[in-house]
Amino acid sequence: MKVLLTDQVFPSVETERALLSEAGHELVIASTPEDLRHHLADADAVLTTYQPLPEEVLSTMKNAKIIARYGIGVDNIDLASAASRGIMVTNVPDYCVEEVAEHAIAMALSLHRRLHDADASTRAGEWGVASVRPIHRLSTLTAGFLGFGRIGRRVASTMATFGCRIVAHDPYATDLPSTVNGVEMDELLGQSDLLFLHAPLTAETRGIINADTIARLPERAIVVNVARGPLVVLEDLIAALRADRLGGAGLDTFPTEPVDPGLLIDVPNLLVSPHTAYYSEEAITESQRKATNQVIKVLSGEKADYPLTAG
């Protein structure tokens, strides 16, 4: 069967090609928009990363049995439309949990310990704690989590080892550990000295961190977003940093990517990275292998490991 790769973002797709060939399938890589439209019409399966697949695109797909996304979020795919057409949608929700959690924690700790200020003052010939005051013990702070899935739980367990009190708001999490306090959104905002965003991007969560919600955070709270960029209204966050309302922000994702670097010039206490929290060599290989295996399983009539629609 024909398996279409909509957007080639990896250094190599030999993993996909070898697995699919062994299963008797052909891998086709779209090279132009016209090429993409042509192959979507009769592809039996689709592998995708960032390519938007809205209803008007899905309506052109006559043979597709599965759309397999390499990553975790599927906001680039119209799930309802796929389900109505009997197309299975899968993701790989467990491929980079370690990496993203590590990245979030690294950002939070760097901002909390004000390492950027310490580095700058040391290089400027200053000595002592004047440039980093005030810093409070982590054990006196509350770490809050908006979204409490695999990654959020891993970050929370690490922050708890530093003595942080842990609170979480996730309407879909029903089995919170006894060490985690489930709270409503208002309580989350009011209590989080460190706010970690681990929510999916939905109509309800888009722009959820904005001028109003930032104003409800404790003074000089730190916000870390390694989830989806549009969770945050970037202009509001930057304004809060410039006004010294927030103690810091760590952003790995942005509403528009690549982000306009001009927006980031001279923004105080802002730590950014270019959507790399997911990355390690091992994570990339795992994502490619697992996404491809979903295709192979569904095309052979087996159950997918990570179904998001019934198909």
pLDDT in tens, 262-272: 999 999 999 99
d(C-alpha 67, C-alpha 4), whole Å: 9
* Cβ neighbour number for residue 134 with a 10 Å cutoff: 8
5-59 pLDDT, tens digit per residue, is 999 899 999 999 999 999 999 999 999 999 999 999 999 999 999 999 999 999 9
- Give, in degrees to the nearest 5, the angle at Cα 81 between 75 and 82: 80
- Whether the CB-CB separation of 7 and 28 falls below 8 Å is answered with no
CATH 1.10.150.130 applies to domain 97-272? no
**Percentage with pLDDT > 70 across the chain:** 100
Architecture of the domain delimited by 2-95+281-299 = 3-Layer(aba) Sandwich (3.40)
pLDDT of residue 297: 98
CA atoms within 13 A on the CB side of 77: 26
| Residues 12 and 289 sit within 8 Å (Cβ to Cβ) | no
Residue with tokens 């700058």: 120
The answer to whether 48 and 7 are in contact (CB under 8 A) is yes
> What does the pLDDT average to over 140-169?
98
What tens digit of pLDDT does each residue of 227-241 get? Answer: 999 999 999 999 999
Is 253 exposed, middle or buried, given 0-12, 13-18 or 19+ CB atoms closer than 10 A? buried
The closest of 127, 170, 122 to 149, measured between CA atoms, is 170
Res 64 pLDDT > 80: yes
Query: Which of 7-15's residues contact partners 24+ apart within 8 Å by CB, and which partners?
Result: 7/48, 7/49, 7/50, 7/51, 9/49, 9/50, 10/284, 10/288, 13/288, 15/285, 15/288, 15/289, 15/292
228 annotated active-site: yes
Active-site pick, 275, 281, 289, 302: 275
26, 126, 204, 257: which one is catalytic? 257
- Is the model's pLDDT at 311 over the cut of 80? no
How does residue 310 score in pLDDT terms, banded at 50, 70 and 90?
confident
Question: What pLDDT shows up at residue 160?
Answer: 97
Please work out, in degrees rounded to the nearest 5, the angle formed at the alpha carbon of residue 78 by the alpha carbons of 13 and 170. Answer: 95
With a pLDDT cut of 90, the percent of the chain lying above it is 97
Rounded Cα gap, residues 222 and 112, in angstroms? 8
User: Is residue 281's pLDDT more than 90?
Assistant: yes
CB 105 within 8 A of CB 82: no
From-to residues of CATH 3.40.50.720 in the chain: 2-95+281-299, 97-272
Range 255-278 average pLDDT: 97
pLDDT value of residue 174: 84
DSSP-based three-state secondary structure for 50? coil
- How far is 26 from 44, CA to CA, in rounded Å? 10
* Active-site position among 228, 242, 281, 286: 228
The pLDDT of 153-173, averaged and rounded, is 97
Annotated catalytic, 206?
no
- Give the pLDDT band of residue 149 (cuts 50, 70, 90): very high
Q: What pTM does this model have?
A: 0.91
Question: Does residue 61 register a pLDDT over 90?
Answer: yes
| Burial bucket for residue 139 (CB in 10 Å: 0-12, 13-18, 19+) | exposed
Q: Which parts of the chain fold into alpha helices (H)?
A: 14-22, 33-40, 55-58, 79-84, 97-112, 115-123, 150-161, 185-191, 211-215, 234-242, 281-299
pLDDT digits (tens, 9 = 90+) for 171-228: 999 889 999 999 999 999 999 999 999 999 999 999 999 999 999 999 999 999 999 9
pLDDT digits (tens, 9 = 90+) for 76-121: 999 999 999 999 999 999 999 999 999 999 999 999 999 999 999 9
Tokens of 230: 């549009």
Q: Report the chain's mean pLDDT, rounded to a whole number.
A: 97
Whether the predicted pLDDT of 247 surpasses 90: yes
